[in-house]
Chains A and B, each alone.
Chain A
């Protein structure tokens, strides 16, 4: 059973306490965006077989949204972090690299 630690309340919550919310770090497209950008924002998903960043809600706990880094091929959990984060933080990237030395982030550092 999947167990994620909620970064908001610190509880190690099991799957039945949590509500999955799909891919994380989607960039909202503003009113000036093109149809292509809007379609990609709404529908196109990475759906990777491997490292995946995703949204979760601690539905039967504190009720807060948070983000998790997880492998969809092995179900290994690399860590959880707050939802108010534009990219996965450095310590999560480090944890992923420990297990997957070849893994490359696909965002540019700001």
Chain B
């Protein structure tokens, strides 16, 4: 295997050294090699999930003969388009286990990768604004207690202390309490992709950008190679980790997935002084709110209901989200919105992910994260690496197989969350 250029270790000493020589000594964080004609494992998609899959294949299983192919630029899909929320307060046991694994890996990810991903466990509150949500979230707190996920139910008075800018009284959507996960929070989404990419490159893996997969070659029901815009590349195993375009890759390989792609959008306001140091999600009105380190209020909204690949959302969803949020956060009504963007999310029927082998030998899929994939990145990569290395799922991925649709064993977070999550 060719020697990959290493990027050097980041530390306070490196910073001091570079400060003394005008920052001329920093090396490229990851290499941009030309593809070889064969790899042991090819991962399609250099977003967070794809890069994490490659990273844990190397770290946990010693497999480094890997290429990560990306049709655009690294982290330019949904990894760079989400609202960076990290939480694990899920109702169903398999979800709670996987998302809690991811959240706990996020806690030490900056140290593990030697790359500051700016994980900020600032706390996260899901507002209960109807009687049904109060009951639902109390139930989730009980479930989380049994699952070992630290969450608590908080009353409106405590909520007001945590979020002084909130208006509790309604009239249409009064705040009746909240599901509080003190160890939830946010992280810098680009840094997660960049940190994993740097670590993968340092292990000798190839990250190949601007390389679109155009076909999948199979023989005798097993994968042999992929055809790309940079030529044919052979492989023993293929991991499809492409979110919104999972159906297209699956079609190339000759099978269908229980997935439909829709647009999910978000927007940010102009930057303002610090006013809210927790993440607040209001699921009844489909709005999530947090304040970025730059001071922008980051607002996530609902999805379009129809199939859409255009990476932009509908204006009426922006209006719907903002209209409802300004009742709960009246001060937002004076803010100008700076940017709005959309990403293509892969929705399954039960709103839970798919980590699975496929009808084609050697092909594995990691998709279906829908509207909530960012928070799962480290756990998803961890579980997917185990699945690829051993050929069968470990305890984290076991319940997320494709077979659950056929057998009716849904992980029904669509009912648990009531909305996109």
Interface set of B (CB-CB < 8 Å, partner A): 245, 247-248, 256-261, 305-310, 314-316, 349, 405-406
Q: In the complex, what's the smallest C-beta–C-beta distance from A59 to chain B, in angstroms?
A: 11
CB pair A73 B309 closer than 8 Å: yes
> Please, how many angstroms separate the alpha-carbon atoms of A2 and B314 in the complex?
8
> Please, how many angstroms separate the alpha-carbon atoms of A16 and B305 in the complex?
11
Q: Which A51-75 residues have C-beta < 8 A from chain B?
A: 52, 54, 70, 72-75
Q: Which residues of A contact B245 (CB under 8 A)?
A: 49
Q: Which residues of B contact A72 (CB under 8 A)?
A: 261, 307-310
**Chain A to chain B: the 6 pairs with minimum beta-carbon distance, closest first:** A43-B258, A47-B247, A44-B256, A20-B305, A20-B306, A39-B406
> CB of A28 within 8 A of chain B?
no
What's the tally of chain A residues with a CB closer than 8 Å to chain B? Answer: 26
Among B305, B309, B310, B349, point to the contact of A43 (Cβ < 8 A): B349
Q: Which residues of B contact A2 (CB under 8 A)?
A: 306, 314
Among A45, A48, A70, point to the contact of B258 (Cβ < 8 A): A45
CB pair B308 A75 closer than 8 Å: yes
Q: Which residues of A contact B316 (CB under 8 A)?
A: 1, 15-16
CB pair B256 A45 closer than 8 Å: yes
Q: A1-B314, A15-B316, A35-B406 are contacts. A46–B309 as well, Cβ < 8 Å?
A: no
Number of A-B contacts (CB under 8 A): 58
> Which A-chain residue is minimally distant from B348 (CB atoms)?
A43
> Please, how many angstroms separate the alpha-carbon atoms of A77 and B109 in the complex?
46
CB pair B310 A54 closer than 8 Å: no
> Which B-chain residue is minimally distant from A40 (CB atoms)?
B256
Q: Which residues of A contact B259 (CB under 8 A)?
A: 45, 47
Q: A49-B248, A49-B309 are contacts. A15–B260 as well, Cβ < 8 Å?
A: no
Q: Which residues of B contact A44 (CB under 8 A)?
A: 256-258
Q: Which residues of A contact B307 (CB under 8 A)?
A: 47, 52, 54, 72
Q: Which residues of B contact A16 (CB under 8 A)?
A: 316
27 residue pairs A–B, Cβ–Cβ below 8 Å: A2-B306, A2-B314, A15-B314, A20-B305, A20-B306, A35-B406, A43-B258, A45-B247, A45-B256, A45-B257, A45-B258, A45-B259, A45-B260, A47-B259, A47-B307, A49-B245, A49-B247, A49-B309, A72-B261, A72-B307, A72-B308, A72-B309, A72-B310, A73-B309, A73-B310, A75-B308, A75-B310
Q: Which residues of A contact B248 (CB under 8 A)?
A: 49
Q: Which residues of A contact B310 (CB under 8 A)?
A: 72-75
Interface centre among B248, B305, B306, B405 (most CB of A within 10 A): B306
> CB of A105 within 8 A of chain B?
no
> CB of A86 within 8 A of chain B?
no
> Please, how many angstroms separate the alpha-carbon atoms of A23 and B261 in the complex?
12
Q: Which residues of B contact A74 (CB under 8 A)?
A: 310
> Please, how many angstroms separate the alpha-carbon atoms of A72 and B312 in the complex?
12
